[in-house]
Amino acid sequence: MNVPTIVTPELQKRFHVPGRIAALAGGLLLAASAYLPWAYDGDALDNMAFLGGPSTLQFLGALLGLLLAVSAGMAWVEPWADRKGILPRLLMVSRRAGWTRGTKALGVGLLGFIAVVLIAIALELGGLVTIEYGGWVALAGALLGFVGSRLLTPGRAPSLEKVKTPAWLEIVSIAVLLLVALLLAAYALNQNDGGTFLSILAFIGALVAFILRVGAGGWLSAAGQRHRNVLVFSSFAVAFLFPFTQNGSDANMSIATQVLIFAATAVGLNIVVGLAGLLDLGYIAFLGAGAFTAATMSQSAFATIGWKPPFIVVMLIAGLVSATLGLIIGSPTLRVSGDYLAIVTLAFGEIFRISMSNLDGSDGPDLVHGSSGIPAIPNLNLFGFDFGKVHTVLGIPLGRFSNYFFLMLLIMALIVLVFTRLNHSRIGRGWVAIREDEKAAEAMGVNVFGLKLLAFAGGAFLAGLAGAVKAHVDQSVTPDQYIFLESAFLLAAVVLGGMGTVMGVLLGAALLKLVPEKLRFVNEYRMLIFGLLMVLMMRFRPEGMIPNQRRVLEFHSDDEELVEEIEEDLPYEFAEEH
């Protein structure tokens, strides 16, 4: 990002000591302010109107403040501990951490957090006057911490990943971290108040930024690389546990299930866009094709096809129908590429939608009842397991959406497996080669056309599977659900999250579906914000939130420091693949 440098290195050299003091003091001030009332009225966020009794959000703020103080103070604690010979081994680890970088990140994050909280209070209660003195003290603390942290010299780069740690510690850390993530997610999702939800997001953002900049991210990712199976397994285990944190309420599960369906489709799109580099602007049609296929073969009284095979078969057929469509849409890639291909796919998406609403008996065969679609699709019943019923496991009732959530989780696992296997195979490298330079790839003997078709068909197949489940989750399928905007949303999930990575797309999909659900007060403005976000993202971070490292290189080839950093890492990644 090209943030203009107001704080020059010279300034930092001169003022780093007062800066450190300011950061320390700011953090402590903030922690102390949690005891003061922030808001005039208890209705804002989670009731911050008390003197001497911090609310959860205030407590989280205080935690960040203390963290800032500790992190800023480490520069003095370290030499002092060294002199006294205290805990030499811990000190060695600490020396590898980028405390100053972490302080800087936290300074920004903390200011952001306080800003979000205060703005939310002002919005919810109506005006800045509703912020009590404690809120201003907190802001002063955050500002002090921010300015102070800016004045610090960047200091050493973290190298925590080179610390040798026992395997059990790494595995436990991964598990604990994921568990914390689960609890945080469950807590955030149970907030019905948009401001609280957003504040927690800001808190998580600040914390994650701090952890990454301190260097723990490097250590964690190194640990994750070493114990990849543990990581994958515990991720799914945590997701599997999620419905159990909901106390039988289906409200969040409904959203979570839709996030998974959306994410599964987005991962499919990621094969086409992220790996093979083919822009598809009509991808929602594949999800639609799967949903319509499943709907016409369902037990619904409105279904038009008499043949009602078991759901497993329906799902495969739905996938195959989508894959066939994918082949058809992919076939012009023989002659069309780049922007033109994007337009062809957009046109296909529109043709699909219009055709579906025309198949109503008056403008075409009555296959899907046109724009009214196929309603009253019954719940699934697989091997005697009724998805519509509430099942009680370990005393916790799991509702209808939890059941579908588990099903989608299984499908998601399959999709992620397919995606990563493909990505790390000959085929995946072929796609990347096509993406980088089609002509060179062809000269090297890569079957360009075949691989492109495979990308389209494979991605579409996955979307078709998700669509088949979606038909039963929504219980009704109409053409209006598959408009161009949905394709744009899918693409945005891929782009915002990070092209070519599974984690990024999951994150992007979750944010895109969750934020509008939770932030109903910005609902009117959500499309506006979304459009702006797409523009800003392309301008400042085109590689996405969790980028594929190869892609970062592509977007920032002029940033030499970054290139070096990544190239250092790359051989490792490649070594994993073979």
Partner 1 sequence: MTYYLDQLLNGLSLGSLYALIAVGYTVVYGIVQLINFAHGEIFMIGAFGALSTWIVLSWVTGGSTAWWNLPLMLVGGMIVAVLTAVLMERFAYRPLRNAPRLAPLITAIGISIFLQEFVRLFYGQIPGFPDAKAAIPFPQLEFFTGPAIDVGGLQVHRGNFFVMAALLICWIFLWWFVNRTATGRAMQAVSQDPDTSRLMGIDVDRIIVVAFAVGASLAAVAGLASGLRYGNIDFKMGFLAGLKAFTAAVLGGIGNINGAVVGGLTLGVVEAMATTLIPGQFGGPAWKDVWAFVLLILILVFRPQGLLGAKVVDRA
Partner 2 sequence: MRNKKLLGGAVALLSASLLFAGCGSRAESSASATGGTATKTAKIGVIAPLTGDLAVMGLGIKNSVDLAIKQANESGAIPGWTLELAAEDDQATPDVGANAATKLAADDDVVAVVGTLNSGVAQPVQPILNSATIAMVSPANTSPNLTQGADLSNPTRTYPNYFRTCTTDAIQGPFAAQYLFESGIKKLAVVNDKKPYGQGLAEAVAAKFKELGGEVVADETVNKDDKDFSSVIDIIKSKSPEAVYFGTEFQLAGPMSKQMGDKGLNVPLMGGDGIYDAKFIELGGREKDLATSVGAPIETLESGKSFVESYKAAGFSDGYSAYGAYAYDAANAIIASLKQSLASASDAKSARQATIDGLSSVSFDGATGKVAFDEFGDAVTKTLTVYEVTDGAWVAKQTGELK
Residues that bind partner 2 (CB under 8 A): 31, 34-35, 47, 50-55, 59, 62, 66, 81, 84, 86-87, 249-251, 253-255, 258, 300-302, 354, 357-358, 360, 362-363, 370-373, 375-376, 388, 400-401, 473-476, 478, 480-481, 517, 520, 523-524, 526
Beta-bridge partner residues of 393: 396
**Closest separation between CB of residue 109 and partner 1, Å?**
26
Q: Answer yes or no whether residue 420 interacts with partner 1 by CB under 8 A.
A: no
- Given candidates 340, 385, 572, 574, which one binds partner 1 under the rule CB under 8 A? 340
Residue 475 interacts, among partner 1, partner 2, none and using kind-specific CB cut-offs from 5 to 8 Å, with partner 2
| CB atoms inside a 10 Å sphere around CB 104 | 25
Contact yes or no for 513/258 (Cβ under 8 A): yes
Residue 340 interacts, among partner 2, partner 1, none and using kind-specific CB cut-offs from 5 to 8 Å, with partner 1
- Given candidates 9, 79, 126, 365, which one binds partner 1 under the rule CB under 8 A? 365
Q: Answer yes or no whether residue 542 interacts with partner 1 by CB under 8 A.
A: yes
Q: Which is nearer to partner 2, 47 or 245 (CB)?
A: 47
Residue 517 interacts, among partner 1, partner 2, none and using kind-specific CB cut-offs from 5 to 8 Å, with partner 2
CA 469, CA 453: separation in Å to the nearest integer?
25
> What single letter denotes the amino acid at residue 575?
A
Q: Answer yes or no whether residue 442 interacts with partner 1 by CB under 8 A.
A: no
**Closest separation between CB of residue 368 and partner 1, Å?**
14
Q: Answer yes or no whether residue 276 interacts with partner 1 by CB under 8 A.
A: no
> What single letter denotes the amino acid at residue 467?
G
**Closest separation between CB of residue 362 and partner 1, Å?**
8
Contact yes or no for 110/206 (Cβ under 8 A): yes
CA 252, CA 273: separation in Å to the nearest integer?
30
Q: Answer yes or no whether residue 263 interacts with partner 1 by CB under 8 A.
A: no
**Closest separation between CB of residue 455 and partner 1, Å?**
13
- Given candidates 336, 413, 545, 546, which one binds partner 1 under the rule CB under 8 A? 336
Q: Of the listed pieces 204-212, 360-368, 424-432, 458-466, which binds partner 1 according to CB under 8 A?
A: 360-368
Residue 554 interacts, among partner 2, partner 1, none and using kind-specific CB cut-offs from 5 to 8 Å, with partner 1
CA 295, CA 317: separation in Å to the nearest integer?
12
Residue 403 interacts, among partner 2, partner 1, none and using kind-specific CB cut-offs from 5 to 8 Å, with none
Please name the residues in contact with 219: beta carbons below 8 A apart, sequence gap of 6 or more. Answer: 160, 161, 163, 165
Taking the CA atoms of residue 188, residue 192, residue 194 and residue 200 in that order, the dihedral angle to the nearest 10 degrees is -20
**Closest separation between CB of residue 123 and partner 1, Å?**
17
Contact yes or no for 193/46 (Cβ under 8 A): yes
Residue 533 interacts, among partner 2, partner 1, none and using kind-specific CB cut-offs from 5 to 8 Å, with partner 1
Helix axes 284-296, 484-497, angle to 10 degrees: 120
**Closest separation between CB of residue 492 and partner 1, Å?**
8
Q: Which is nearer to partner 1, 332 or 388 (CB)?
A: 332
Q: Answer yes or no whether residue 516 interacts with partner 1 by CB under 8 A.
A: no
CA 389, CA 386: separation in Å to the nearest integer?
6
Beta-bridge partner residues of 39: 131
Q: Answer yes or no whether residue 539 interacts with partner 1 by CB under 8 A.
A: yes
**Closest separation between CB of residue 126 and partner 1, Å?**
19
Question: Of 100, 298, 110, which Cα lies nearest the Cα of 199?
Answer: 110
Site for partner 1 in 549-568 (CB under 8 A): 554-555
**Closest separation between CB of residue 551 and partner 1, Å?**
9
CA distances from 28 to 21, 24, 313, 440 (A): 11, 6, 62, 58
- Given candidates 45, 344, 411, 490, which one binds partner 1 under the rule CB under 8 A? 344
Site for partner 1 in 473-502 (CB under 8 A): 484-485, 488, 491-492, 495
**Closest separation between CB of residue 334 and partner 2, Å?**
31
Q: Of the listed pieces 142-150, 262-270, 318-326, 355-363, which binds partner 1 according to CB under 8 A?
A: 355-363
CA distances from 572 to 247, 549, 561, 578 (A): 43, 12, 18, 11
Residue 520 interacts, among partner 1, partner 2, none and using kind-specific CB cut-offs from 5 to 8 Å, with partner 2
Residue 332 interacts, among partner 2, partner 1, none and using kind-specific CB cut-offs from 5 to 8 Å, with partner 1
Q: Of the listed pieces 103-111, 161-169, 297-305, 533-541, which binds partner 1 according to CB under 8 A?
A: 533-541
Question: Of 50, 68, 46, which Cα lies nearest the Cα of 117?
Answer: 46
Contact yes or no for 512/527 (Cβ under 8 A): no
Contact yes or no for 498/546 (Cβ under 8 A): yes
The 3-class secondary structure across 124-174, one letter per residue, is HHCCHHHECHHHHHHHHHHHHHHHHHHCCCCCCCCCHHHCCCCHHHHHHHH
Contact yes or no for 99/71 (Cβ under 8 A): yes
CA 552, CA 74: separation in Å to the nearest integer?
32
Tokens at 458, concatenated: 């494979």
Please name the residues in contact with 522: beta carbons below 8 A apart, sequence gap of 6 or more. Answer: 194, 529
What does the binding site for partner 1 look like in residue numbers (CB under 8 A)?
273, 277, 279, 281, 332, 335-344, 346-348, 350-351, 354-355, 358, 363-365, 438, 484-485, 488, 491-492, 495, 524-525, 527-528, 530-535, 538-539, 542, 554-555
